[in-house]
Structure 1
């Protein structure tokens, strides 16, 4: 598979975790790779890759997953669905390259990248076990959820692009369906990722989801109920 990407970290030994990052509209994988560097010291055994959108948009190296020109509440889901097979194939590609499965995979997206990450596990719940969505939303709210996926919504309180209300609605929908979700609001932050956002994300990956849960698929074991109590 050929797609734009930037490898933030590739451990010498076989990777134990797979962290895939997805940027917003008009951005590129190298730029999104900068937030990815925050994860490297905490997860030295992780393969960390920033993946570029499937479509060019404007002057290079700007990329996107779907066009936002003329996008509406009525047509957003259709645009997401049209490109979703490519997104899912891209995730599967990196899982194959790393030798890791969904339980060791985290999808980390900002803005449109967060939309695609959230929508991907709505479409294919076994794609990954964790999603971190910075300033994102669903194209349309999910109708079912599973605790096999842990979703962390991190949103700027003053976001004028994707309003906080969308993240609140997503949290409420997932909770009502029995899903595993957290929502952290970063006060005073607009449509961006800042140090506070990154620290929240790192804390969730390190503590809300225990590290052994990342490693478990490699050992051939299955997390026990008392081992994953922090997820509940």
Structure 2
């Protein structure tokens, strides 16, 4: 199994970490792409450590990394991909929590695009409930042809979930947001969502703001600095 690593930010407070936020990048990027989100959220989470691991595979595009290959020719490739990549991510989360002396109640996952797919897949299957999962410009992956009943049977814990999407996204269309929220609702998983008006496949200031408040609420019980 590949051992993941990537850039880290220590707590802004200078003390020992009291929370951990793991940032999962998208297809063709690497951990450096998202670590700056941690700097943006440090005022809300001064006691949190941030880490943004590089995905385990070189991207088939020839640059960056991928959690799994995407050719868009096989309707089953996302499902196979999230399942294949999940053990390495789970092992990374276990190692980070152990290293910092924290448990899942102090852990949040934030994923962008393909990283969102991984955050949702793993976050719902951890044996203990996470503090928060934020999915940015991505979707919930389920087995082709299966629906909420299949998802419900796979869920091991139900963390607070926020999904954010741009209404002008031309990579993963905004319909993915509504399909994902419907699947989660059908599996009896509460979910909040935010639509970023005029935003393509990216993270605007509104998304950054709403996600930061959501993380602070889940990790500290506070909704503001």
TM score, norm. by length of structure 2: 0.85
Distance 1:204 1:122 in 2: 17
1:23 matched residue in structure 2? 25
- After superposition, the CA RMSD in angstroms is 2.2
Other structure's SS at 2:7 match: strand
Are 1:149 and 2:159 an aligned pair? yes
Task: Give the number of aligned pairs.
Answer: 211
Offset at 1:199? 0.5
- Show the 5 A alignment for 1:212-223: 212=221
Partner of 2:121 in structure 1?
A: 119
Aligned residue runs from structure 1 range 44-63, under 5 A: 44-57=46-59, 58-59=61-62, 62-63=64-65
Deviation of 1:127 after TM superposition, in Å, equals: 6.0
1:202 alignment partner in structure 2: 212
Q: 1:210 to 1:17 in 2, by over 3 A?
A: closer
CA distance in 2, matches of 1:163, 1:111: 11
Aligned to 1:132, the other structure's residue is in SS state strand
Corresponding residue number in structure 2 for 1:165: 175
C-alpha distance in 1 between matches for 2:92 and 2:129: 11
Output the TM-score relative to the length of structure 1: 0.82
Distance in 2 (alpha carbons) for counterparts of 1:80 and 1:92 = 18
User: In the alignment, what sits opposite 1:182?
Assistant: 192
Q: Which moved more, 1:12-21 or 1:106-115?
A: 12-21
| Residues 59/78 of structure 1: CA separation in 2 closer, same or farther (3 Å cut) | closer
Unaligned runs of 5+ in 1: 214-232
Q: What CA deviation, in whole Å up to 9, does each residue of 1:182-231 have, x standing for no partner?
A: 01111111110111110110122234x37248xxxxxxxxxxxxxxxxxx
> Partners in 1 of 2:23 and 2:219 — Cα distance?
20
Deviates more, 1:69-78 or 1:12-21: 69-78
Residues 1:25 and 1:127: Cα distance change in structure 2 (over 3 Å): farther
* 5+ long unaligned stretches in structure 2: none
